[in-house]
Amino acid sequence: MPTKATAPKLKLARLHGRPEIFYSIQGEGKSLGWPSVFVRSSLCNLHCIWCDTDYTWNWIGTRFPHANDNKPGYQKFDKKAWIEVCEVEAVAREVMQHPCLNVILTGGEPMLQQPAFTELMVELRRHNAGYRFEVETNGTLMPNENFDAAIDQYNVSPKLENSNNPKKLREKASVYRFFAASPKAHFKFVVATPNDLEEVFELIRLYNIGNDKIWLMPEGSGRQALARKRKWLVEVCKEQGFRYTDRLHVQIWGSKKGV
């Protein structure tokens, strides 16, 4: 075990002056509707133009465009003000305050911080072996052995051209192959328009992803945007034998953060 001085620390998103840890329900994908504690990491290695957690990466001084750039009052985020550096033990104590053993590591891109999140999983299981962990990942980073041993479920969301990330950043062949073969991994494709489907089908073919591992989700951070896309996307799922996922948290709380 690392000593306290050498132990990796978690860089979490800071929301309302605190690390963003909250008890809610899983709003997307395979575990939709499952009460869960969310731990939101800061930092991301991608820069999706429609990202709704842009306070984890869209820092002042960077050049990345965002769909909200032209919205009145929108501005990039002050990195120092939006990151909370935390001891793993302190995060574990906060997670344990909630009456729930399903924990979702989200972000940002939590797999940028595998050593610290592995420590968190080990620490929580030291208190209760019943803890279960999911990670929400963009599928560009290979899990290391310890992280892979500790995690129960990978919710992999490959980014498409509609995210505005260059292909060489968003598509890592060896990582996709790893997740396609892992019984712990499921793929959630965010679809903005019918034009995205060719790209989704191509990725599925290229990496040999089984239908039982595929969820399609409409892109949208508001109820109306989701409602517009839901009908035709459900039909695609029926035709192809994929599963459909909505964004339950958006239906309930809209674009509110930390819920």
Q: Which residues bind ligand SF4 (CB under 6 A)?
A: 44, 46-48, 51, 53, 56-57, 107-109, 138, 159
Beta carbon nearer to ligand SF4, 46 or 200? 46
Beta carbon nearer to ligand SF4, 131 or 140? 140
Q: At CA 156, angle to CA 167 and CA 84, rounded to 5?
A: 95
Beta carbon nearer to ligand SF4, 87 or 258? 258
The least distance separating ligand SF4 from the CB of residue 125, rounded to whole angstroms, comes to: 26
The least distance separating ligand SF4 from the CB of residue 157, rounded to whole angstroms, comes to: 7
The least distance separating ligand SF4 from the CB of residue 47, rounded to whole angstroms, comes to: 5
Beta carbon nearer to ligand SF4, 19 or 107? 107
Regarding beta strands 21-25 and 10-15, do their DSSP bridges make them parallel or antiparallel, or are they unpaired?
unpaired
Measured distance CA(218)–CA(64) in Å, rounded: 23
Beta carbon nearer to ligand SF4, 118 or 165? 165
Beta carbon nearer to ligand SF4, 129 or 173? 173
| Buried-state track 22-60, b at ≥16 Cβ within 10 A, e below 16 | bebbbbbbbbbeeebbbbbbbbbbbbbebbbbbbbbbbe
The least distance separating ligand SF4 from the CB of residue 108, rounded to whole angstroms, comes to: 5
The least distance separating ligand SF4 from the CB of residue 24, rounded to whole angstroms, comes to: 17
The least distance separating ligand SF4 from the CB of residue 19, rounded to whole angstroms, comes to: 17
